[in-house]
């Protein structure tokens, strides 16, 4: 997984990469005071200076660090996946590390697991595997124990292998294979806990909640860095001091290796405890209780003007709450409402606000309220309340109302939209930024400019949409190296698309969404589907409203677009710029998919099928989603394309984050920012990028997801 850069790499570009990743995830996060109670080391994990500790931050802690010392820079993202399990992604730059004294850019992943929690009598014990699918530059394993012996005073001791066993080893546990692999991206299981074993340890002291002082004895001899002149070492003793800011940031200064001065910045937040987005919006209308005995009055049913007045009042009050009522079926004891929710990221908040509005305008005889949320013309669920429960439980916990709420399939239950609502036309002009990270010749590339987008809803289910971009600045088109690929060039021509596509039609499509049967959803999309491909895409999804399981299938027929990203199409034959070999991109690709909500916010997805380059395989993804809309996840794709054919990185993988914009503005919003950090954009395991895939739209209004944010029902 390394990338080699000829010539000396400036610190500015590495700082740019760190800033890109850290600001994307933490720049606007409202960090909570006190979340950063543990120190993070130069590897971006809980630790002293360079050595790990067995301290474990709270569940769901998300931390980002940027560290620099000597000729080494490290940018790290840390996530506490479960109360005892954590994962780390690291991007490093090591100067003077290549044969021609160039800079080595390296990506690595770590896992840590807490074997024992700390008690009054025993220490916390953690086992860790560092750089376990990287190139082996930072490969090492450790078993470490930490114990707080006095408030603020923590002792740590451990055993290390690999890098952690390179200084003054006292034993040996078999033969450890060489450090640097040719492939990268593969788990090096035969190296785990093999080779020399050495001891490390240290102590940290926090006299208050702002400062932590640390000293450690390191078992890492920095053999390769010293041999190549990146660093100098004269002592195993390292020293550090941390200063924590009230907003969750941490600034650290270090003296390491006996010769080097280092510094590190850390931000820490916790999406689990940030709270549900919003909070500064006005409160919803209160419930209007009925007068005793009024529920028996059905006189209004004989007055057509009264019914029309009720409909108009409901639409007007709902609009003031930011909701769109498109149709109403009003009966003597029951009303069904067709709802479009453009505002609230928590569906429960939309349900609660509309239900309270309904208590204020519906005739007293109407006891049953049925709300059918509609997305792209598709009825999602039918959420049913009893009016008497709303009146009785308004001041009780939201869970009391949930226990009396019924979720059913919305198939065939949504009233038709009223006349005059469709067609609808919306448009927007906004800035855009396209990022490419981890290019071995330039860690950060980007294009920035303006995007004009529009959507024309011909009918509720038939939607024409598109967007055009105009680049104002950027360097995605400046890739100079010839990127060899042993597969059809389905993604590695991205630099040429960036170079010639200005202005560019990002996509221009006509999509039809439907409900062909109970529990079944459909999508058919035609047009210029994405930056590189036009064609047709069809999808079916089976998803019962109360089920955690969903099954789907997608079939695509594609044609490669011209590099200028306008209206032209080109041959499906690609030519490798290095070898001159021609390869055909298949026209047909697709997948069958399974989705499952495991509980505790974990969502899994498995896609099996044919990818753009014609390779067959599967993509496994796991995301953890929180009630406030934050999401942290990872994916990996394995296909029958050999690691040699795939090229650098061995297989497609990445980590991703979803940040609801309501977190930053304090107002309800369905808008969000998705951040994907990929190792490299290669041709193997590449998938078509289609707008409007069904699962994310559908699950939002089904019971397993809606109950996660039910605490917003009365907000």
Residue 205, domain CATH: 2.40.160.40
Residue 287 lies in a domain: no
Residues in the chain: 715
**Which of 613, 610, 573 is closest to 487 using CA atoms?**
613
Contact in structure between 197 and 172 (CB atoms under 8 Å):
yes
The answer on 413 and 558 residing in a single domain is no
Q: What's the gap between Cα 134 and its chain centre? A: 22
The answer on 408 and 311 residing in a single domain is yes
Residue 110 lies in a domain: yes
Whole-angstrom Cα distance, residue 420 to residue 326? 10
Whole-angstrom Cα distance, residue 639 to residue 617? 4
The answer on 590 and 466 residing in a single domain is yes
Which DSSP state fits 138?
T
678: Cβ contacts below 8 Å, ≥ 6 apart:
437, 438, 652, 653, 654
Q: What's the pLDDT at 2? A: 41
Whole-angstrom Cα distance, residue 457 to residue 304? 31
DSSP-assigned states of every residue in 478-538: ---S----SS--SSTTHHHHHHH-SSEEEEEEEEEEEEEETTEEEEEEEEE-SSSEEEEEE
179: Cβ contacts below 8 Å, ≥ 6 apart:
136, 137, 139, 224
CA distances from 595 to 544, 548, 605 (A): 12, 8, 5
Residue 433 lies in a domain: no
What CATH number does residue 389 fall under? 3.30.300
The answer on 339 and 226 residing in a single domain is no
**Which of 33, 25, 32, 80 is closest to 56 using CA atoms?**
80
Domain ranges, residue 621: 462-699
**Which of 440, 466, 355, 447 is closest to 691 using CA atoms?**
466
Residue 429 lies in a domain: no
DSSP helix/strand/coil, 12: helix
Whole-angstrom Cα distance, residue 226 to residue 97? 10
Q: How many CA atoms within 13 Å lie on the side-chain side of 240? A: 33
Phi–psi pair at 565, nearest 5 degrees: 55, 35
Whole-angstrom Cα distance, residue 102 to residue 99? 7
The answer on 25 and 124 residing in a single domain is yes
The answer on 488 and 577 residing in a single domain is yes
Residue 704 lies in a domain: no
Residue 432 lies in a domain: no
Contact in structure between 702 and 380 (CB atoms under 8 Å):
yes
Q: What's the pLDDT at 409? A: 97
The answer on 469 and 416 residing in a single domain is no
DSSP helix/strand/coil, 223: helix
DSSP-assigned states of every residue in 23-76: HHHHTT--PPTTS--S-B-TTSSBBSSSSB-S--PPTT-EEEEEEEETTEEEEE
Continuous segment of H or E residues that includes residue 565: none
368-375 and 334-340 strand pairing: parallel
136: Cβ contacts below 8 Å, ≥ 6 apart:
178, 179, 180, 181, 188, 191
The answer on 299 and 263 residing in a single domain is no
Total number of domains constituting the chain:
3
Residue 75 lies in a domain: yes
The answer on 472 and 408 residing in a single domain is no
Q: What's the pLDDT at 617? A: 95
Whole-angstrom Cα distance, residue 370 to residue 378? 16
Residue 286 lies in a domain: no
Q: Which residues of the chain have pLDDT under 50?
A: 1-35, 182
Q: What's the pLDDT at 102? A: 78
Which DSSP state fits 569?
B
The answer on 468 and 408 residing in a single domain is no
Three-point CA angle 315, 317, 319, nearest 5°: 65
The answer on 501 and 407 residing in a single domain is no
The answer on 255 and 359 residing in a single domain is no
Q: What's the pLDDT at 646? A: 72
């Amino acid at each position: 997984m390394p990338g080699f850069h000829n010539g000396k790499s400036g610190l500015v570009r590495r700082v740019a990469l760190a800033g890109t990743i850290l600001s994307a995830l933490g720049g606007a996060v409202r960090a909570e005071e006190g979340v950063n109670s543990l120190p993070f080391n130069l590897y971006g994990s809980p630790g002293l200076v360079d050595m790990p500790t067995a301290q474990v931050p709270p569940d769901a802690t998300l931390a980002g660090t940027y560290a620099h010392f000597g000729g080494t820079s490290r940018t790290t993202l840390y996530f506490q996946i479960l109360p005892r399990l954590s994962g780390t992604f690291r991007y490093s730059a090591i100067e003077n590390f290549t044969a021609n004294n160039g800079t080595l850019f390296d990506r690595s992943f770590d896992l840590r697991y807490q074997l024992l929690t700390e008690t009054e009598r025993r220490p916390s014990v953690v086992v860790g595997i560092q750089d376990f699918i990287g190139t082996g530059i930072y490969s090492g394993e450790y078993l470490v124990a930490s114990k707080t012996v006095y408030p603020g005073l923590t002792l740590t001791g451990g055993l290390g292998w690999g890098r952690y066993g390179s200084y003054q080893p006292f034993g040996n546990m078999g033969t450890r294979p060489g450090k640097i692999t040719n492939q990268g991206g593969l788990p090096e299981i035969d190296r785990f806990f093999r080779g020399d074993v050495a001891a490390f340890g240290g102590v940290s002291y926090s006299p208050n909640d702002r400062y932590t002082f640390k000293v450690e004895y390191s078992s890492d001899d920095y053999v390769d860095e010293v041999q190549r002149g990146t660093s100098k070492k004269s002592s195993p003793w390292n020293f550090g001091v941390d200063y924590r800011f009230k907003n969750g940031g941490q600034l650290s200064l270090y003296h390491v290796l006996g010769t080097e001065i280092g510094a590190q910045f850390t931000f820490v937040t916790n999406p689990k405890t940030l709270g549900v987005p919003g909070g500064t919006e006005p409160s919803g209308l209160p419930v209007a209780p009925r007068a005793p005995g009024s529920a028996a009055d059905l006189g209004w049913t004989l007055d057509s003007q009264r019914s029309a007045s009720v409909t108009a009042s409901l639409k007007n009050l709902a609009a003031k709450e930011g909701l769109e009522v498109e149709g109403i079926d009003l009966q003597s004891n029951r009303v069904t409402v067709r709802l479009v929710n453009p505002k609230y990221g928590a569906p429960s908040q939309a349900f609660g606000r509309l239900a309270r509005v309904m208590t204020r305008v519906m005739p007293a005889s109407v006891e049953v309220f049925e709300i059918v949320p509609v997305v792209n013309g598709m009825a999602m669920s039918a959420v049913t309340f009893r009016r008497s429960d709303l009146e009785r439980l308004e001041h009780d916990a939201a869970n009391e109302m949930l226990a009396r709420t019924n979720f059913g399939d919305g198939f065939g239950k949504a009233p038709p939209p009223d006349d005059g609502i469709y067609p609808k036309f919306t448009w927007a002009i906004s800035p855009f930024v396209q990022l490419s990270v981890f290019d071995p010749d330039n860690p950060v590339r980007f294009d920035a400019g303006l995007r004009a987008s529009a959507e024309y809803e011909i009918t509720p289910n038939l939607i024409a949409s598109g967007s055009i971009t105009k680049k104002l600045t950027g360097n995605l088109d400046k890739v100079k190296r010839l990127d060899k690929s042993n597969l059809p060039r389905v993604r590695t021509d991205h630099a040429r698309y960036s170079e010639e596509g200005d202005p560019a039609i990002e996509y221009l499509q006509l999509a039809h969404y439907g409900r062909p049967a109970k529990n079944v959803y459909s999508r058919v999309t035609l047009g210029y589907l994405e930056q590189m491909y036009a064609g047709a895409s069809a999808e079916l999804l089976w998803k019962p409203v109360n089920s955690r399981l969903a099954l789907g299938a997608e079939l695509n027929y594609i044609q490669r677009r011209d590099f200028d990203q306008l209206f032209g199409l080109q041959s499906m034959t690609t030519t490798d710029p290095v070898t001159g070999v021609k390869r055909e991109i298949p026209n047909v690709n697709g997948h069958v998919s399974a989705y499952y909500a495991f509980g505790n916010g974990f969502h899994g997805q498995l896609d099996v099928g044919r990818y753009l380059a014609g390779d067959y395989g599967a993509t496994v993804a796991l995301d953890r989603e929180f009630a406030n809309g934050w999401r942290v996840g990872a994916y990996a794709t394995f296909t029958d394309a050999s690691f040699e054919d795939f090229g650098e990185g061995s297989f497609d993988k990445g980590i991703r984050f979803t940040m609801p914009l309501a977190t930053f503005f304090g107002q309800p919003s369905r808008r969000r920012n998705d951040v994907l950090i990929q190792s490299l954009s290669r041709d193997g395991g590449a998938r078509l990028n289609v707008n409007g895939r069904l699962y994310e739209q559908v699950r939002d209004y089904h019971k397993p997801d809606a109950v996660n944010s039910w605490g917003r029902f009365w907000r």
